Amino acid sequence: MNAVHWVRSRQEESELVYWLSVVAYDPRDRSLNNRLYLIYIVVFFAVWIFAVLTLFAGGGAVILQAVSPADPAGAAAWLLAVLLAAWGLFALRSALRRSPVVFTEEDGLLLGQTPVSRRAVVLRWLWLPWIKNALPFWLAAVTLGFSLIEATVPGEMGLQHLPEYIVHGVRAWLPFVPAHLGLFTLVWVAGVARLHRDQERRWIILPALALAAVLVLPALGLYPGEGILPSALRQLAGVLAYPLRAGFLPVSLGPALAAGWGLALAALALLWQAAEGFSLSRAAQETREGAEITSAMRYGLADYAAERQLQSRLGVVRRPSRLPAVPGPASLVWKDLIQARRSLRAAEVMDWIGLVGAALSFSLLPDPGSRMLALGFWSLQVGKVTSARLRSDLSVWPLTRQLPVTARSLLVLDAAPSLGLALVLSLAALGAGAAAGAPAWAWVLVLPGAAISAAGSAAYDILRRARADLLMNGSAPAVSSTGIIMGAACVLAPAAGLLWMPGPAGLLAAVAGSLALAGLCLRLAERSYGRIGGD
Amino acid sequence: MSICLSARQLSKTYNSFQALAPVSFDLNHGEIVTLSGPNGSGKTTLLSCLSGLVRPSTGTVTVGGCDLYRDEREARRKLMYVPDVPRFYLELTAWEHLRFIALANDAVDGFEQRAERLLRAFGLWDARDLFPHHFSRGMRLKLGLVLAFIRPFKALLLDEPTSALDTESVQLLLTELVRVRSEGATVLLSTHDPALIEQFGDRRMVMRQGQVEFAG
C-alpha cells in the first residue's frame, strides 16, 4: 500500500502544483511574500467565486420560478437531479467502454507489472478524479442554494443577506457531497468490475442499467407539478433523491447526511469487492492514450493532442474510398474530401456555425458599427476554416512539396472545397436575412472577393512563418494575430466603402476593392510558399 | 552518358553556419551514386536542397534539363526524394496514399497492378488498408519507398533508406534500384553501410564538413 500511496500522492501533488502555477504561485518558494500571496489567492478566489455564484444565482432564481413558482425548493432539487442524471448516464456509458481508472504509460509500466494490491490501487486512485468531477456539481448545488434564497426572500438582496446566502449554500452542498460520492463510486464499480483478470465481463451492463434507472428516476420523478411517472414511482424517486431534496427543504439534515454517507460507504465497500481481480494492465491499455492526450492539451500541445485524437478516432483499418478522382492537380480535391469526411470534429462544426452566425448577424444588425464587428468575426472564421487543409498539407512537407503542382494550384485547390462551402453558407445566411426583411443584395457581389481575401490572408500568414525544418517534423504554424488583422482589414476596407458610400459608385468601389485585395493576398501567399526553406 | 541531375554552386547557410559549401556536380542517367560521410557532414542538407524541400542559399538544381524552381512542375515530375523519416497524411490509408501519388503524377495507367506488385514485394500488401500511423518505423520507410516507385521518375534521392529495413527488404530495395538504373534513372543514395558503399554504387560521393568529394 505504501508504494501505491507514494506514487499516487506524487501525482496528486503534481496536479496541485499545476493548478497553483495557473495562478502564479510557486510552492517551492518559501519566502514570506509567497506565503502571504497564497493567503491572498485563497481569500481572493473565495470572494470571487462567491460573487460569480451570486451573479448566476439571479438567473437561477428566474429558472426556479419558471419551473415551479409554488415550489422553488422542489425545482432546485429536480434541476440538480437532472444534472446528476445527465452526467451519470454519460459517465456510466464511458465506464462500460473504457476503464474509469486512468493510468498513464508510466503507471502502466510501474504498477501494471508489479504485485501491488489491486484494491489498494483502485481505492487510492478514486479521490482525485472524484474531486475534479465533483467541483462543478458542488458549485451548481451552492448556486441553486443561492438561487433558492433569491427566489423565496422578497425584496432586493443586499449584504445583510450574506449569512443567509452562506447557510443556504452550505446546506445545499453538505448532503450533496456524499450522494455524489456514492454515485461516482458506483459508476467506478461498473467500470472496474468489467475488467476482471483476463475476462471482460459483459454482463455488468445489467446492473449498470439498474444504476442508470436509479439515476434517471429522480430526474423524471422530482419534477414539481404534473409529472409523467405514476405516483408510486414518484414516491420512490423522492426516497432515492432524499439527500438532494433535503439540501433545499426546511428539514433536519441529519437523516439526509446519514443516508448520503450510508450510500457512499456502501458504494465504497462494493468498489472494494469489485476491485479484487481488477486487471491493471488492461486498464492501462485502455486509458494510456487518453491520458497522453489530456497531458498534451494541458501543456499547450494542442496540435499534437488533436493529431492523437484523430488517430484514435480513425481506428486501424479503412476500406479504400470509392470517391471518383481526376488525375493531375485536381487530385488534391479528392484527397481533401476524403480527409474532411474522416476528420470532421465537433469543434470544426462549431467553426462553421460561427461563420454562418456571423454572416447572419451581419445581415440583421441595424447599425454599421455592429455590422463591421460581425464581418470581422466572419473573416476570422473564413480564414480559420479555409487554412486548415493547408496547415495539414504543410505538416506533410516532403510529400506536399514534391507534388507536381504549382504553388498557385496548391493554394487554390487546398482552399477550394472549404471556401466554396463558406461562400454557399454565407450567401444562404444573407438570403435568410433578406427573408427576415434585411436585404443585403449588394453584399452578394462583394462576398466572393472578401472570402478569398480572408482565405488568402490566413494562407499568407501561415506560409510566411513556415520553416522547412519544423515542417519536416510535422509542425505547421497556425494563423497569428497578424493574419487575423490582415484578413479583417482586407474584408472591412471594401465593406466600409459600401456602407458609407451607398449607391452604384460605392458598390463598384467595394467589388473592385475586394477583388483587388483578394488577388493581392493570393499573390503574397504564392510567393511565400516559394520562399519556404529559404531561412 | 547524359546528365540527369545537375547542381551548380549549390550552398546552404543557416544564419552564419555554412551547412553546405558551394558544390557543383552532375549525376548521369543510369547510374547509382552513394553518398556517405560522418554525422553532421551535410548529407541530409544536400539531399534537401537537391529535392527542393529546403531552398538553397545559392545555386541551381536542374533535373532532366528543367530548373527546379523556374520549371517547378516539370522538374517535380522527374524527381523523387524519400526522407529517412517519411511522414504521411493521417486520414489516408497506405493504398490511398499510393492512389493519390499516382493521380497527382498522372500515373494512373496500370496503377492497380503496379501498386499490388510493389506492396507485395515490400511485404505491405496485407497492410494496404491500414493507416500509416499504425505502421512500424520499418514499414513506414517501406511505404515511403513504394510511394517513390509507384510513379515514374528520372532521379531518385534516398536518405538512409536501409537504416530501418530488414535484410530481405534491403535486398529487395537494391533489386528495385538496379531495375530503375537499367531503365535510365539516376539514384543518389545516402548511407552509412560500408558494404553498400563498396559494392553497390557506380560512383561514390563523400561529404566532409559541408564539402563534397567524389571517389571511385
Span A61-86, pLDDT tens digits? 999 989 888 888 989 999 999 999 99
Residues 319-338 on A with a CB inside 8 Å of B are 319-321, 325-329, 331-332, 334-335, 338
Helix (H, G, I), strand (E, B) or coil at A194: helix
Per-10-residue mean pLDDT, chain B, length 216: 90 88 92 92 93 92 92 92 94 97 94 95 95 94 95 94 88 92 94 86 90 74
Distances (CA, A) of A319 to A325, A392, B128: 16, 22, 9
Q: What is the pLDDT of residue B201?
A: 87
ipTM of the prediction greater than 0.85, yes or no: yes
Phi, psi (deg, nearest 5) at residue A238: -60, -40
What is the CATH T-level fold of the domain B3-88+153-215, as seen in this structure? Rossmann fold (3.40.50)
Mean pLDDT value across residues A190-211:
87
Span B18-50, pLDDT tens digits? 889 999 999 999 999 999 999 888 999 999 999
Q: Band the pLDDT of A231: cuts 50, 70, 90.
A: confident
- Name the grid cell of B21: 559549401
The closest CB to that of A327, out of B53, B80, B108, belongs to B108
Q: What is the pLDDT of residue A106?
A: 83
Q: What is the pLDDT of residue B216?
A: 53
- Name the grid cell of A273: 469487492
For residue A361, pLDDT over 80 is answered with yes
A278 strand-pairing partners: A196
Q: How far is the first Cα of chain A from the last one, in angstroms, to the nearest whole number? A: 56
Closest CA to B160 of B190, B132, B203: B190
A391–chain B nearest CA distance, Å:
12
- CB B118 within 8 Å of CB B149: yes
B77 in contact with chain A, both atoms CB, cutoff 8 A: yes
Return the exposure string of A15-48: e unless at least 16 CB atoms fall within 10 Å of the residue's CB, then b: eeeeeeeeeebeeeeeeeeeeebbeeeeeeeeee
B121–chain A nearest CA distance, Å:
20
- CB A453 within 8 Å of CB A518: yes
Q: What is the DSSP letter of B85?
A: S
Q: What is the pLDDT of residue A108?
A: 81
Mean pLDDT value across residues A290-309:
89
Mean pLDDT value across residues A467-473:
91
Q: Band the pLDDT of A503: cuts 50, 70, 90.
A: confident
- CB A445 within 8 Å of CB A424: no
User: Cβ–Cβ of B93/A401 closer than 8 Å?
Assistant: no
- CB B102 within 8 Å of CB B150: yes
- CB A383 within 8 Å of CB A408: no
B190 strand-pairing partners: B35, B159
B208 in contact with chain A, both atoms CB, cutoff 8 A: no
- Name the grid cell of A244: 438532494
Residues 300-319 on A with a CB inside 8 Å of B are 307, 310-311, 314-319
**Annotated domain spans of chain A:** 2-293, 331-531
Closest CA to B150 of B186, B100, B205: B100
- CB A452 within 8 Å of CB A408: no
Distance CA A304, CA A288 (A): 15
Sign of the CA dihedral A194, A198, A199, A200?
A: positive
Helix (H, G, I), strand (E, B) or coil at B194: helix
Q: Band the pLDDT of A1: cuts 50, 70, 90.
A: low
Distance CA A141, CA A384 (A): 38
| Amino acid occupying residue B16 | S
Q: What is the pLDDT of residue A252?
A: 86
Other beta carbons within 10 Å of B128:
20
For residue A172, pLDDT over 90 is answered with yes
- Comparing alpha-carbon positions, the chain B residue that sits nearest to A311 is B90
**Annotated domain spans of chain B:** 3-88+153-215
- Comparing alpha-carbon positions, the chain B residue that sits nearest to A391 is B89
Please state the pTM of the whole predicted model: 0.81
